[in-house]
Structure 1
């Protein structure tokens, strides 16, 4: 099991890995979860997949994607869009309620957004915990390399059950909200300390 942090500057070094990650996102989010999201050529994408973002991918030696995540700076801006959580709060996204945060969404160089976090649907149950832990550990490593001390993320509200197992301090930043029949919550992941 390997981890790679992708960017627009290093895609060419990793063959089909970026496309495979977008294909895995489509398989989980569109095919399995039945979310109404943009897709093209068998890949899921949205307005936040820009050169400002980075993508953390857990994969095998052949490039099969096991898990992934997108990191976006909270300082980014592209047209009317900034980052997903802030844009939802600003009422720009009709699929996420605007009251998802207790306070105004941060805009700071040391805070990034973690979005599209997933473990591929076909990862065996016996491997899921290890794959998830590897993903979260590499998200923390990548975030720190990018200068982030924390990352906001919209997660399944069951996060308190597993946060300790992956060694990240998490704090609720908004209320539990039902989105597409699943309870979700915005959480801040603290990456200012080393992960264990």
Structure 2
């Protein structure tokens, strides 16, 4: 099992990995979960897949994607958009309620947004926990490498069950909200003291 952090600066060094990650996102979010999201050429994408973002991908030697995640700085700005959670709070996204945070969405160099976090639905149960832990571990390494310490993310409200297993302190930043039939919650992940 390999883990790679992709950026627009290094995509050319990793062959089809970026496209495979977008294909895996489409398979899970559009085909399996039946979410109505943009897609083209068999890939899922949105307005936050920009050169400002990074993507953490867990994959095998052949480039088969098992898990992934997108990181976007909370300081990002592209036209009217910034980052997903903030834009939802500002009423720019009709698929996520604007009441998802207790306070105003942060804009700070030390906080990045983690979005589109997934483990592919066909990852065998026997290794799912390991794949998820590998993804979170690399996420922390990447965040710290970018000079940040925290990630704001919208997760399934089941996060308290697995937060301790992956060794990351997490704190609820908003209420539990039902989105597409699933209870979700915005959480702050603290990577400041998580060293691997």
TM-score, reference length from structure 2: 0.99
Aligned to 1:34: 34
Aligned to 1:180: 180
Deviation readout 1:26-45 (Å, 9 max, x if unpaired): 00000000000000000000
Structure-2 separation of matches of 1:180 and 1:194: 32
Q: Spell out the pairing of 1:113-124 with structure 2 (5 A cutoff).
A: 113-124=113-124
Task: Quote the offset at 1:71 in angstroms.
Answer: 0.2
Aligned to 2:99: 99
Secondary structure class of the residue paired with 2:131: helix
Task: Quote the offset at 1:194 in angstroms.
Answer: 2.3
Structure-2 separation of matches of 1:59 and 1:126: 16
Deviation readout 1:137-176 (Å, 9 max, x if unpaired): 0000000000111000000000000000000000000000
Aligned to 1:59: 59
Which runs of at least 4 in structure 1 moved beyond 2 Å after TM superposition? none
Aligned to 2:193: 193
Task: Quote the offset at 1:68 in angstroms.
Answer: 0.1
Structure-2 separation of matches of 1:146 and 1:134: 18
Structure-2 separation of matches of 1:194 and 1:99: 30
Gaps of 5+ in 1: none
Structure-2 separation of matches of 1:122 and 1:42: 17
Aligned to 1:46: 46
Structure-1 separation of matches of 2:171 and 2:194: 17
Secondary structure class of the residue paired with 2:116: strand
Does residue 130 (structure 1) correspond to residue 130 (structure 2)? The answer is yes
Structure-1 separation of matches of 2:68 and 2:112: 16
Gaps of 5+ in 2: none
